[in-house]
Structure 1
Amino acid sequence: MAKTGVTEGGSSLMANLWGLIKKAETNGDIRGVSICRNGPRVWRTINNPDSLCHRVFKARFFPDCLIFEAKDSTLGSYAWKSIISARDVIREGMVWRIGNGQSVRIREDKWLPVQSNRSVISSLPSVAPETKVSSLINPELRGWNSSLVNQLFLPYKASVICGMPLSIRLPLDKIIWGLTPSGMFTTKSAYKLLVSCNSTNLAGTSSSENQRLFWRSLWQLRVPNKLKHFSWRACNDALPTMTNLVMRHIATTEVKEDYRVKIFVIIAWMLWNRRNALRLNLQVQPLNRISSLAGSYLQEFLDVQDQTPTATDPSLPQQWQPPDENKFKVNFDAVVFKSCNQARLGVIVRDWRGEAIGPLSMLVPAAQTVVELEAFACRRAVLFAVELGLQDVVFEGDSLQVIQALNLDSTDHLTYGHILEDI
């Protein structure tokens, strides 16, 4: 940006403005705002496959894959380059909501309802990288194949997966935004995500003055120049690591560097403990199992750290009110038993005189949030009323979120939206 056309009277104002712009640029804010402002365009492209914009870009740049797998093109328009620049932000904050599981890979995609790590990070040697989540679903029962899930995953992870509610329609898998309760992309949440990532990457750099001192001391080191150059490239993330090669479309296999660091630390700790156990003549694990045990240990630790409290919606106790004459009222609720990681759905049907027509109690795996269980209970209550052949029915529950969601025009991006769409 050229600083031209500055008059004498406005020189001070322009100088201050230029200083603010340079400061924001140094902190990554200008680029972050630009990327986040292009985020809605990427979001609309993903969620409107029938739109003209999506069809044009897909035919030109990613005819045989998803937009996240499309490669940058030097012949692309400014609009396409803007989409590419914001695509990584969407990839970082998105999560797949499982419908039929045919579009989601077990090991490669983000689909787990765990905020700290939505991807499967433990080693699954019997599962191929391209294996879909649909292989874990029983299409006849419209639910998870619990025996297979328990066979492949650790107990805690298996309970998390089995607790994910599935739609009885088994619709298409859906990409939702994992950083807002509505599941919809917002520029504010995307910018917070970028700031959080930048803060993590810049940990330890206290000020620009400290950075200048660091670089000055680096170039004054009495070592061969090639070592200085190597250090400079390493500090600026300019070495040809696998991640950088993938970003430049030189390599095709992306490596999760953060995962490698975590695994390295755990393996080192396990090897140290194994050495101590051998010295004391204790039983130890064979060396060829250390790597897989480290992956399982890391995933179990991250999952436990991200457990969310199962707090119910605050509401004032109210006395039950009967429906109008010749009508029925169905009350539904869900309760969580943390000790056994299970939940129970309860449904009771009464007529206008208050007499019970039919009760229902159902034990299910505990979901990650109470609102998902309440949505599950609501769907079961509707199905129960249909099974009893009732008409003129009033449904009543104590979850304000579920009741408000039912009154929305669309629940397409809610984590439990596919459950409410079954009703």
Structure 2
Amino acid sequence: MLAAQEVLKRGCCWRVGIGYDIRVMTDEWIPNHPSNMVICQPQEVKWEWRVMDLIDWTVGAWDRHLIETTFHKEDADAILQIPLSRRLVPDSLFWLHNRDGVYSVKSGYRVACKILKEANSACELCKRTTETALHALWECSVAQEVWAGSMRKQQKAAGSQLDFLHLVEVLMLKLSREELELFFVQAWLIWTQRNSVVFGGVIQDPSRLVKRAGEFLDEFKQSQVQLAVTRVETRCSRWIPPLGSTFKLNFDAAIFQDIKSSGFRAVIRNNQGEVMAALSARGPSVQDSEEAEVLACRKALEFTIDSGFSNIVIEGDNSVVMAAIPSSRLIHSRLGNLYADIHCLVAGLQVHSVSSVARFSNLVAHSLARFAHCINDEIIWLEESPQPALEALYVDSN
């Protein structure tokens, strides 16, 4: 266990609950952020500063003004993206390197290899300098021999770069699309060869790698032509009214990258297809589609309860989220607290079924989610058809 401590420390991250156990400056608690920690030191740091001090408990949300005026913009934006539970839940640790937040031997082995590689960071092939992505794929003498036989224009186009991303940006400005495609294939082959050598393989002749890069690129292009099919969108998957006295809740989410926010929508209809209640709301910036859909689901269930409906069927178009709603399994990922919020809300309703449906069966909710781009807060419709979704409602009725 003592030997594995470093692996666990590097692979775990705090999931914010009430924030009492998490130290702002020294703990790892900001997922999808470099080092998962606050990067830039604020001008004023409080003694024993805890994450709970950054939450406005009157509304149960991040104290945006405090965070934006205290932290560097990159840190502030990352903190404000962390979703908070509606409930007072304890802080907990989750494993960063698996989607479900649970440790596995395979992912732990990868973290251990990364730690060992950093400890022995000299280039495995030339033994001359620290191994970075730029060195491994471009500056190493072994890589240079391959590039010399591949495309001299690439070597001439690039000068002194800070890192591999900078190199790619330079080449994108100077090379054609075909030359860039060959560059990426060649870089992949160089990386594959390095991995092979590290685990006991031998260095191949540079001309062989150059030839293979051209062959792989030709094979890929040919396969794209052979696999190309005409996309036919069938209309057989329609919205189906609920049975009897039950009501159907459809929800969806949208991500607006241009304004760094998201959109939620929900619509509740009866067995005649009539809209009983509908919602379109602007949401926060999110890290991925799963987070957007989870937040939309929670918002839709809260809207359902507030509108006085309890006898419902739930439909959404994200299979991961819909599978998690009826599950009793504890979810350990960074979104685990949000899923737990949803389970608490569902427990107070009479839910007959939970289904994942095709986007075409969720058009009304999808239309309202896109409409959220045009509003600042939220709009609610009660027993009337939402204007932004009239076309989708017409499609469903026919």
Q: TM-score range by the shorter chain?
A: 0.5 to 0.7
Question: Relative to 1, partners in 2 of residues 1:129 and 1:408: Cα closer, same or farther, differing over 3 Å?
Answer: farther
CA-atom RMSD, angstroms?
Answer: 2.3
1:322 to partner: Cα distance: 1.3
Q: 1:163, CA displacement in angstroms?
A: 2.2
Deviation at 1:336, TM superposition (A): 0.9
Residues 346 and 106 (structure 1), Cα distance of their counterparts in 2 relative to 1, 3 Å cut:
same
Alignment partners' CA distance in 1, 2:104 and 2:2: 18
Tell me, what secondary structure is at the counterpart of 2:324? helix
| 2:7 counterpart residue number | 89
Residues 224-303 of structure 1 correspond to what in structure 2 (within 5 A)? none
SS in 2 for 1:380: helix
Structure 2, unaligned runs of 5 or more: 129-161, 163-232, 343-398
Report the Cα distance in structure 2 between the residues aligned to 1:377 and 1:363, rounded to whole angstroms: 10
The superposition leaves residues 351-405 of structure 1 with CA deviations (integer Å, 9 ceiling, x where unpaired) of: 1111111111221221112211211111111111111111211111111111122
TM-fit CA distance, 1:116? 3.4
Confirm or deny: 8 A CA contact 1:100 1:172 kept in the other structure: yes
CA pair 129-178 structure 1, distance change in 2 beyond 3 A: farther
- Whether the 8 Å CA contact 1:374–1:399 is kept in 2: the answer is yes
List per-residue Cα deviations over 1:186-219 (Å, max 9, x = no partner).
1110101111222233232537x979xxxxxxxx
**Counterparts of 2:82 and 2:293, CA distance in 1:** 13
Are residues 171 and 136 of structure 1, via their aligned partners in 2, closer, same or farther at CA, if it must alter by over 3 Å? same
The ranges of structure 1 where at least 4 consecutive aligned residues each deviate by more than 6 angstroms after the TM superposition are: none
2:238 equivalent in structure 1: 319
Instruction: Give yes or no for contact 2:252–2:317 (8 Å, CA) kept in 1.
Output: yes
Q: 1:406 corresponds to which residue?
A: 325
Displacement of 1:179 after TM fit? 0.4
Aligned counterpart for 1:102 among listed residues 9, 17, 20 = 20
Secondary structure in structure 2 of the residue aligned to 1:84: coil
Alpha-carbon distance between aligned partners in 1 of 2:10 and 2:76, rounded to the nearest angstrom:
24
Preserved CA contact (<8 Å) 2:40 2:72: no
Q: Distance in 2 between matches of 1:160 and 1:210?
A: 38
TM-score by length of 1: 0.53
Q: Distance in 2 between matches of 1:377 and 1:124?
A: 33
For the 8 Å contact 2:15–2:93, the answer to whether it is kept is yes
Contact map agreement 2:241 2:273 (CA 8 A) in 1: yes
Q: Which residue of 2 aligns with 1:136?
A: 54
Single out whichever of 102-111 and 83-92 deviates more from structure 2: 83-92
Answering whether residue 255 of structure 2 is matched by residue 336 of structure 1, we say: yes
Shift of 1:115: 5.0
Relative to structure 1, is the Cα distance of residues 102 and 328 closer, same or farther in structure 2, using a 3 angstrom cutoff?
A: same
The whole-number CA distance in structure 2 between the counterparts of 1:364 and 1:159 is 15
TM-score for the superposition, normalised by structure 2: 0.56
**In the alignment, does 2:278 pair up with 1:359?**
yes
Q: What secondary structure does 2:282 align onto? A: strand
Task: State the AA in 2 paired with 1:109.
Answer: D
Change (3 A) 1:168 1:125: same
Note the alpha carbon deviations across 1:226-259, whole angstroms, 9 max, x for none: xxxxxxxxxxxxxxxxxxxxxxxxxxxxxxxxxx
Distance 1:155 1:346 in 2: 29
In the aligned structure 1, how far is the partner of 2:95 from the partner of 2:107? 10
Question: Secondary structure of the equivalent of 1:422?
Answer: helix
Deviations 1:86-131 (A, max 9, x none): 1111110000110111110111111112153201120113123620
Q: Is the 8 A contact 2:40 2:75 kept in 1?
A: no
8 Å CA contact 1:101, 1:172 repeated in 2: yes
Deviation at residue 153 of structure 1 after TM alignment: 2.2
Alignment correspondent of 1:372: 291
- Using the TM superposition, give the Cα deviation of residue 159 of structure 1 relative to its aligned residue in structure 2, in angstroms: 2.7
Whole-angstrom CA distance in 2 between matches of 1:131 and 1:383 = 33
Deviation at 1:180, TM superposition (A): 0.2
* AA in 1 matched with 2:79: I
Q: Which residue in 1 is equivalent to 2:228? A: none
Amino acid at match of 1:101: G
List gaps (5 residues or longer) in structure 1: 1-82, 212-264, 266-314
Kindly provide the amino acid, as one letter, of the partner of residue 404 in structure 1.
Answer: A
CA contact (8 A) 2:42 2:72 kept: no
Measured after TM superposition, the shift of residue 409 of structure 1 is 2.6
**How far does the alpha carbon of each residue in 1:71-96 deviate from its partner, in whole angstroms, 9 at most, with x for none?**
xxxxxxxxxxxx22211111100001
Mapped contact 1:375–1:419 kept (Cα < 8 A): yes
1:160 partnered with 2:46 = no
How far apart in 2 are the matches of 1:137 and 1:324? 44
State the alpha-carbon separation in 2 of the partners of residues 395 and 159 from structure 1.
33
Amino acid across the alignment from 1:353: Q
Q: In structure 2, what is the equivalent of residue 296 of structure 1?
A: none
Is residue 100–residue 331 contact of structure 2 (8 Å, CA) maintained in 1? Answer: no
Q: After superposition, where does 1:115-130 map in structure 2 within 5 Å?
A: 115-128=33-46, 130=48
1:327, distance to aligned residue in structure 2 (A): 0.9
- 1:358 alignment partner, SS class: strand
CA gap 1:201/1:388 in 2 versus in 1, 3 angstroms: same
**What is the SS of the residue equivalent to 2:4?**
helix
- In 1, distance between residues paired with 2:28 and 2:250? 35
CA apart distance, 1:175 = 0.3
Question: Following the alignment from structure 1 to structure 2, what is the Cα–Cα distance between the partners of residues 350 and 336?
Answer: 25
Q: Secondary structure at the match of 1:339?
A: helix
Q: After superposition, give the CA deviation of every residue in 1:124-182 in whole Å (9 maximum; x if it has no partner).
A: 13123620010111112111111111111233432332222111102001100000000
Q: Which residue of 2 aligns with 1:36?
A: none
Structure 2 residue aligned with 1:391: 310
Secondary structure, aligned partner of 1:123: coil
Work out the CA distance in 1 between the residues paired with 2:119 and 2:292: 37
Aligned pair in 2 of structure 1 residues 210, 354: CA closer, same or farther (>3 Å)?
Answer: closer
| SS of aligned partner of 2:254 | strand
Residues 39 and 75, structure 2, Cα contact 8 Å, conserved in 1: no
**Distance in 2, Cα, partners of 1:350 & 1:363:** 22
1:7 aligned partner: none
